[in-house]
Structure 1
Amino acid sequence: MQEKILILDFGSQFTQLIARRVRELNIYCEIHPFNKIPEIDDSFKGIILSGSPYSVRQEDALHFDFARYHGQLPILAVCYGAQYVAHFNGGEVLPSSTREYGRAHLHYIEKANPLFKQIYPGSQVWMSHGDTIASIADNFEVIASTDSVRVAAYQISGTHTYGIQFHPEVTHSIDGRQLLENFLVDICGCSQDWTSDSFIETTIAELREKLGNDKVVLGLSGGVDSSVAAVLLHQAIGKNLHCIFVDNGLLRKDEYQSVLDSYQHMGLNIKGIDAKQRFYDALAGISDPEKKRKAIGRVFIEVFDDAAHEVQDVKWLGQGTIYPDVIESLSVKGPSATIKSHHNVGGLPDFMKLKVVEPLNTLFKDEVRRVGKALNIDDNILGRHPFPGPGLAIRILGEVTPEKVAILQEADAIYINNLRAAGLYDKVWQAGTIYLPVQSVGVMGDERTYENVVCLRAVESLDGMTADWCHLPYDVLAKISNEIINNVKGINRVVYDISSKPPATIEWE
């Protein structure tokens, strides 16, 4: 039985980061909304309560049955969680008299406390809260303080329940990893045996048991997630996995054939479908970004369903869904929220009548890449930049036509090839070229031109939630601009996007 840590989400922006830090210690964890707690069995070793944008003093504060779990498992309550446990168990939480945001230092630590093993006075922590714990009950013990926050951390005497008002999951808390390891290993007794190899072994065994001799169809995209999902399924059920790779006419230059070749070299049972014209017809006359996404999604399902019907007795649809997709589809305050429009599972129509199998739905993106590495998947696939599901359609602002796609493919190929040649591709998280609905005056030779503008975009990021624009060398940008203008007919101006996310998004549509 896989041991696990339960993380209860109260809506904090840092909840996923807590999970990532736990998993970096080779310990499996699951995030569940505070109001949708799973049945606790012997596999659970401890509970972490997240922060929240709410205050425990609000009338609509987020409540859960703390008494039910207190004493049953070790508990680490972070920020809102710590304030909740203190406030509703004989203490008092009040608005902070001074702003408690940013760096602080622990000037007092109860050195004998197991939560602070190998952590010493002066340790920097990161605060982010508008309330503070003003007082605690008699059976609570202060185990750490800062200059301005007396109850920076506490323990309920005689129990393994701890509360901290700082965030150990952020890198600004210098000893945050040590504190989490103290809680998870020394206090909860986790064995730190959740690795890529153990995940692969367990997942393949579970897939074999679940699927038996059933057939599975899976739509490949050329990206990391679907590729790793395909290899796991292939190792579990072999030729009963039928992969489908659709050319929607919105891929990068020569991508359809190169990706198809790479998959066939991996031994996958794959069929390529040229459906370019069906997508172009569906996109004709559409300029609205969301309508473009919907049209592409609809046609993809139609094409995929046609191909799936050619496989006799298929019962399952394989998906490369990853853990953030699952988390983001849940609402902390009540029923599940609408799944975002580019999440394929959300768009699966009733008529397909297929059960869904998602071998990666417990993994974050970096974990998927590590699993792919352990499966010996080619670095060209694992290191591929994220590419939007609607493809170049949302990098062409305005109506999509085959002519615009061809121009953008040529310009984008020059951009990406130059990043590779300069040794910059692997240092950039995502790069792409955007075709703008703008024409500008130019001069080529003795002639005046009035042609199109493309914009280059390159960002640095860890997970796509936030991103900063890349400071690419001027000489590289100059070379790319010259090559595009000189070689791609129809473009006479190249610009570079220096917007960060937020406030801008990575893609333009």
Structure 2
Amino acid sequence: MEKIIVLDFGSQYTQLIARRIRELHVYCEILPFNRPVSLNSEVKGIVLSGSPFSVKDPNAPTVDTRQWRGKVPLLGICYGAQWMAHQEGGEVAPSQIREYGRATLQIDLPEHPLFAGMSKASQVWMSHADSILQLPPHFKILAHTENIPVAAYEIEGEPTYGIQFHPEVTHSLEGKQLLHNFVVNICGCSQSWTPASFIEQTVASLKEQLGNDKVVMALSGGVDSSVAAMLLHRAIGSNLYCIFVDNGLLRKNEFEQVLETYRGLGLNIKGVDAKQQFYDALRGISDPEAKRKAIGRTFIEIFDEEAHKIQDVKWLGQGTIYPDVIESVSVNGPSVTIKSHHNVGGLPERMKLKVIEPLRSLFKDEVREVGYALGLPKAIIGRHPFPGPGLGIRILGEVTPEKVRILQEADDIYIEALRRSGWYDKIWQAGAILLPIHSVGVMGDERTYEQVVALRAVHSTDGMTADWVHLPYELLADISNTIINRVKGVNRVVYDISSKPPATIEWE
């Protein structure tokens, strides 16, 4: 499979470079700058990312690009461009006028293949303190801006290019065209990497890797585990054993609804009612981290017990996705440790199983595209992110069955109102939180002293940052009135208008 390699020097935009290339239906992988890159027929080109370092910094990340130059096309972005110039004897120094934000790229050679289809004066996004003041003799300037003489260059006689701006951000209005020119026109990629091709290649690979082996997998009702399970199901059929645990912390009626959906998809699935075990494990615990650990520990015990009822299982399926993998890659050292944020963390060691992760090369939006191509229902693919510990971390303080009932009822009213009003699909994540306080109210001329529910709704693209959603007052009023009138134990509803940062999406 043809691919582009993105070498990460620590830029905040590295993931975005990869996402933009994949949007062109070209597969790419992110590797730390110090990971050896073996050139073969699959590797069509290499992109060098930006970095928070200066090339003059003694601790700056370095790599000898001469090992690849002339063999495959190279594109250095910001730090990557500065490093290649510096490596060949060019002068890189702090800019007299630092450029952060929008700038106008003046293309000196508009007929150059790197700029095909772009305006001669193009808006780009700059973010750099250093500039290339002098290029080595065999380098040619391709573009400049008002403040810097070298905004783009090529090395004469080879397809190696450097650009000072960031084509991967939307503020570079023609940045995607430049990436298309590099990846498609210069590197010669065929743009054949699509959800359908991913499914075909992945299923074939899974069949070869697993053969007649049995795989056990925990399902959560979320998009990642569901898509991973469907890929495994296509590859090995009934040799995939799925387990869906009701931890008593799911949304109202979610266990029954999701279980029925999975069975309708033909999955070999077993539902396990373990509500009481989780409630017992959470009794008397108020600390958020202690609750998470108690929920995780109980889940492992139950899943382990159920999995051992299946004979001769050799593999554990997991819904790990690409951000889980690359966020844990250190660009300051060769060691790579995958984050332990899988739904079933701790199980591989306990059960002595090999791990299979069909989605470990996909971003979240790509997982959704594959899910639609597999025919998964929108109820699963379009589902809002839901925390692994469920309502256990949306009930602040100790978790009890009665508090779960109250929150399930309030949350159900909230989510259904968002669906009816058309807001659900406009929101990244929404949910209700039960606060550990009581407030005075009045109902039917009588004093009440009941609990408070907070509503949360945020816009986001990846969950790393988020902003609160400006829901209409009329909708909020209707939701508040309905919750207070129908949910016994609640007499006050508030709306969370905090962004991330400084607040997190979940309260615990």
1:144-163 alignment, distance < 5 Å: 144-163=143-162
How many residue pairs end up in the alignment? 508
Q: Kindly indicate whether the alpha-carbon contact (under 8 Å) linking 2:319 and 2:342 is maintained by their aligned counterparts in 1.
A: no
Q: Percent identity?
A: 69
CA shift for structure 1 position 346:
4.6
Q: Distance in 2 between matches of 1:392 and 1:153?
A: 52
| Cross-structure match for 2:358 | 359
| Greater shift in the superposed pair: 203-212 or 287-296 | 287-296
- Residue number in structure 2 paired with 1:92: 91
Q: CA deviation at 1:99?
A: 2.5
The residue aligned with 1:133 is 132
Partner Cα separation in structure 2 for residue 307 and residue 476 of structure 1? 44
> Per the alignment, in what secondary structure is the counterpart of residue 121 of structure 2?
coil
- Please tell me whether the aligned partners of residues 348 and 355 of structure 2 are also in contact (alpha carbons under 8 angstroms): no
Question: Which runs of 5 or more structure 1 residues have no equivalent in the other structure?
Answer: none
Determine if contact 1:76/1:162 at 8 Å carries over to the other structure: yes
TM-score (structure 2 length as normaliser) = 0.98
Match of 1:454 in 2: 453
1:315 and 1:151 mapped to 2: Cα distance?
A: 56
Give 1:381's aligned residue.
380
Alignment of 1:1-12 (within 5 A): 2-12=1-11
Q: Counterpart of 2:393 in structure 1: which amino acid?
A: I
Contact kept, 8 Å, 1:342 with 1:389, in 2: the verdict is: no
- Superposed displacement of residue 351, structure 1: 2.6
> Using a 3 Å threshold, how does the CA distance of structure 1 residues 503 and 303 change in structure 2: closer, same or farther?
same
In 1: Cα distance, 2:359 partner to 2:466 partner: 24
Q: Which moved more, 1:113-122 or 1:189-198?
A: 113-122
Distance in 2 of aligned mates of 1:192 and 1:424:
35
- Equivalents in 2 of 1:340, 1:435: separation in Å? 30
**Whole-Å Cα distance in 1 between the matches of residues 116 and 307 of structure 2?**
56
Mapped partners of 2:432, 2:418: distance in 1? 12
1:336 to 1:386, Cα distance in 2 relative to 1, 3 A: farther
Cα 1:108–1:209 change in 2 (3 A) is closer
Q: CA deviation digits over 1:242-291, x for unaligned, max 9?
A: 00000011100110000000000111100000111111122222222222
In terms of mean alpha carbon deviation, does 94-103 or 139-148 score higher? 94-103
Q: 1:184 to 1:337 in 2, by over 3 A?
A: closer
How far is 1:441 from its partner?
A: 1.7
User: Which region of structure 1 is more displaced relative to structure 2, 439-448 or 17-26?
Assistant: 439-448
Name the counterpart of 2:14. 15
**C-alpha contact (below 8 Å) 1:297/1:342 kept by paired residues:** no
Q: Deviations over 1:7-46 (max 9, x none)?
A: 0111111111111100100000001111123422210000
Letter in 2 for 1:363: L
In structure 2, the CA distance between the partners of 1:345 and 1:407, relative to structure 1 (3 Å rule), is closer
Deviation for aligned residue 1:154: 0.8
Q: For residue 234 of structure 2, what is the amino acid of its counterpart?
A: Q
Compared with structure 1, are the counterparts of its residues 349 and 197 closer, same or farther at alpha carbon in structure 2 (3 Å cutoff)?
closer
CA-atom RMSD, angstroms? 1.3
Letter in 1 for 2:308: H
Task: Give, as a single letter, the amino acid of the residue that structure 2 aligns with 1:105.
Answer: T
Report what 1:284 is aligned to. Answer: 283
What residue in structure 1 maps to residue 316 of structure 2?
A: 317
CA distance in 2, matches of 1:131, 1:346: 43
- Secondary structure of the 1:13 match is coil
* Contact 1:293 1:342 survives alignment (8 Å): no
Match of 2:402 in 1: 403
Residues 50 and 78, structure 1, Cα contact 8 Å, conserved in 2: yes
Aligned position for 2:260: 261
Alpha-carbon displacement from aligned partner over 1:320-374 (angstroms, at most 9, x marks no partner): 1111111112222125466545324653352311001111111111111111111
Alignment of 1:230-245 (within 5 A): 230-245=229-244
Deviation string 1:155-177 (CA, Å, 9 cap, x unpaired) is 11111111111100000000001
TM-score, structure 1 as length reference: 0.98
- 1:48-106 superposed Cα distances (whole Å, 9 cap, x missing partner): 01111111111100111212122221001111111111112111111122231100011
